[in-house]
Amino acid sequence: MSDAGSGGVSDLFAIAARELRTVVRTPAVVALSVVFGLTVVAVAAAGSGARGGYVPLVLDLVPFVEALVPLLAVALCYRAVLSDRESGELDVLRTFDVSRPAYVGGVYLGRGLALVFVVFGSLLAAGATVPVLSPPDPTFLALNEAADSPVAFLRFSVLAVLFALAVAAVAL
């Protein structure tokens, strides 16, 4: 692999598409992603969070996100570059003059996109349980809407995705 490839950005996206196809074709990764999604939604539906609002839902999900997001990130990204080297795929890619940054960036981008889809999609599905399971607001109490809003849950979801991407970068 040369240090300055001829089509850096196009190479990066080609490698990312290849990695995304690889992740989607791996049954173990797909099964793990489905289990992660079902676990997050089940915790949201079974816990008191979905019936209590977005902030209680975040409190219910924090332990699971702390434990399961790194496991999912490592499962998707662990040794991706090294296994390409051991299988000989890296030697094949060298014949196409793909730069090292384009290759590593493409691997990270492809696997990171899959990770973002699973983590963010699962958390959004969990967040969708709040309007369905929450009781109507009482009319005799003064409520502060800012204390429990979807924005707080969205912020939690974005931070969970960034956490997953950081772990993925280390696992790569």
Q: Is the pTM of this model over 0.75?
A: yes
- pLDDT of 87 higher than 50: yes
Least-confidence region, from 46-50, 106-110, 165-169 = 46-50
Residue 144 pLDDT: 59
pLDDT of residue 97: 83
pLDDT for 5 beyond 50: no
Distance CA 34, CA 27 (A): 10
Token pair recorded at residue 43: 């915790």
Reported as a single tens digit per residue, the pLDDT across 50-82 is: 677 888 899 999 999 999 999 999 999 988 888
Q: Give dist(CA 82, CA 96) in Å, integer.
A: 19
Nearest to 60 by CA among 47, 72, 70, 73: 47
Residue 126 burial (10 A CB sphere; 0-12, 13-18, 19+)? buried
At residue 66, what is the residue type?
E
- Average pLDDT in the chain: 86
- Per-residue pLDDT band at 89 (split at 50, 70, 90): confident
> Does residue 126 register a pLDDT over 60?
yes
Spatial separation of the C-alpha atoms in residues 62 and 13, rounded to whole Å: 33
Q: What is the pLDDT of residue 82?
A: 81
Nearest to 109 by CA among 169, 37, 28: 169
Task: Name the percent of the chain lying above pLDDT 70.
Answer: 87
